Amino acid sequence: MTPEVAETIALQALGFIAADERALHGLQAVTGLDAGTLRNRTAETEVLAGVLEYLLTDEKRLLEFCETADIDPQLPGRAKFVLTGEPLYD
């Protein structure tokens, strides 16, 4: 997976989370970013990785996102590893 694909998945996840007020508040609580800061820092790798990390903490939300985005449920986790530079083992 390329960094560009990982960023795209993270941006899709952010849009999915932002559409659910409760989920958005949860993301903000976990990251400590208010709506304005989150909006201004969306392009930052650390923020995108944080979005994916938050998504991965809730299996139900993860599966709903993957169904909505029509992607394999393993891809958000892989994308997080690509964005953080962590090694990915299959």
Question: Per residue in 1-41, pLDDT tens?
Answer: 899 999 999 999 999 999 999 999 999 998 888 888 888 98
Q: Residue 37 and residue 3: Cα distance in Å, rounded?
A: 23
pLDDT digits (tens, 9 = 90+) for 48-90: 999 999 999 999 999 999 999 999 999 999 999 999 986 655 5
DSSP state of 20: S
* Segments making up each domain of the chain, as ranges: 3-83
pLDDT averaged over every residue in the chain = 90
Closest by CA to 32, choosing from 13, 19, 46, is 46
Chain centroid to Cα 85, Å, comes to 15
> How many residues comprise the chain?
90
pTM: 0.88
Beta strands in the chain (DSSP E): none
